[in-house]
Amino acid sequence: MKKLNIAMIGYKFMGKVHSNAWRQVNRFFDTPFEPVMKVICGRNEEETKRAANLYGWEEYSTSWEQVVRRKDIDVIDICTPGDAHLPIAIGAAGAGKVVFCEKPLANTLAEAEQMLAAVRTNNVINMLCYNYRRAPAVALAKQLIDEGRIGKIYHFRGSYLQDWIVNSDFPLVWRLEKAKAGSGALGDLSSHIIDIARFLVGEISDVAGLLKTFINERPLEAGSQKLGKVDVDDAALSLVKFDNGAIGSIESSRMAPGNKNRNRFEINGSLGSLAFDLERLNELELYIEDGANSGFKTIMVTDSTHPYMSAWYPPGHIIGYEHTFIHTVLDLLKAIDEQKLPTPNFEDGWRNQKVMDAIERASQSSSWETV
Ligand SMILES: NC(=O)c1ccc[n+]([C@@H]2O[C@H](COP(=O)([O-])OP(=O)(O)OC[C@H]3O[C@@H](n4cnc5c(N)ncnc54)[C@H](O)[C@@H]3O)[C@@H](O)[C@H]2O)c1
């Protein structure tokens, strides 16, 4: 089998998840390549070395600039905070590598434009890791919508709620700094919902928006008396209009106690409705207007006929969060083999960023903004 050498930049949360995906994909799926976990990259040598041993990377490096220039590397997998996406992606594209990048694509729309231009100019395959598209239940929702089972779509209702910063003593980590993260709940959470909305419903044309920061100062470090300014949103709300006439709402917050990672959507069409909740990842709720029943039914999306499920376990043996990333790298490997652009790619990331940019503008102007 052909080998494909992977280099991954960043070794913490997504680094752990992506390492697992690269390691597992060939153990369950027939893929065109054997991904070789060649080199992991971080800034702290001891920590990067530890991560290399723990996750099974052959080598480690503390210079992404050197890694992207290496002739033996085929794919650059970017798992860093948003402020490092642009230089690494542009460097990787310039060196002719496949670029696989965590979401959101960039910290600003202008950066997203530059990154899209770089992958186009250098004609390199690129993909963005909006992994929830590849939860089998979400992929099944896409199939049902494409088959016309819920008819013409009227409503999209998406929310992504977490509660990890409710305590005002929680420190000013990178996700709360605009210079590092670009935005708060908007880029971190709403961007996922925007991707699902674009995937399942279509392009968003206009938005109303409301960004809110509830806690404006936080300890610079855990336990510190010194406070720093929070310059990103804690919560992001928006109303959206789609090109196809559907309307929707997108809400995200990190200040919603009791919600750990509750990423939900409901879609209502002329013939029925669909609903999904990430905290019940194996299930899809479906209601079909057939005059015979009056409620949603729960589809257990674990049959071998369901998207991605033939590679896993017998029906009812549920899968989880990590599998959505394994499915994502699977489709990236297939796309590289076919020399086709996978989705979502940098263009999707740029379109997503346009929606976020419009939500920010709408929040400032208190009026509807065109995407
Ligand atoms: N797809 C998803 O569901 C999902 C979930 C969480 C995070 N993310 C995205 O993944 C990215 C990383 O988030 P995370 O949660 O893994 O963050 P993290 O803080 O857990 O890890 C970030 C890693 O990047 C490294 N890093 C930071 N700046 C760097 C630089 N300049 N050069 C080299 N390495 C650098 C850090 O040392 C660390 O290893 C972000 O873009 C985030 O939005 C996506």
CA nearest neighbour of 269 among 115, 116, 108, 154 = 154
Instruction: Output the pLDDT for position 51.
Output: 98
- Mean pLDDT, residues 24-44 taken together: 97
Task: Report the pLDDT value the prediction gives residue 291, as an integer from 0 to 100.
Answer: 80
Mean per-residue pLDDT for 44-52?
98
Could you tell me what percent of the chain has a pLDDT over 70? 100
Asked if residues 158 and 265 have their Cβ atoms less than 8 Å apart, the reply is yes
In short, whether 13's Cβ falls inside 6 Å of ligand 1 is yes
Taking residues 301-318, report their average pLDDT.
98
From 102, 189, 261, 327, mutation site for ligand 1 pocket: most ligand atoms within 8 A of C-beta: 102
> Helix H segments across 95-229?
109-121, 136-146, 178-181, 185, 191-200
Q: Is the pLDDT of residue 293 over 80?
A: no
Average pLDDT over residues 80-89: 98
Q: How confident is the model at residue 229 (pLDDT cuts 50, 70, 90)?
A: very high
pLDDT at 290 over 90: no
Average confidence (pLDDT) over 244-262? 98
Residue % of the chain over a pLDDT of 90: 98
Report yes or no: 162 and 253 within 8 Å, Cβ to Cβ. Answer: yes
Would the CB of 43 count as within 6 Å of ligand 1?
yes
Split at pLDDT 50, 70, 90, the class of 1 is confident
Q: Considering the entire predicted model, what is its pTM?
A: 0.98
- The CA dihedral of 62, 65, 71, 75, to the nearest 10 degrees, is 80
pLDDT value at residue 358: 98
Residue to substitute in 9, 14, 195 for testing ligand 1 pocket (most ligand atoms within 8 angstroms of CB) = 14
182 CB less than 6 Å from ligand 1? Answer: no
CA dist 203 and 101 (Å) reads 22
> Tokens at residue 153, please?
């779509």
pLDDT value at residue 247: 98
Q: Is the CB of 132 under 6 A from ligand 1?
A: no
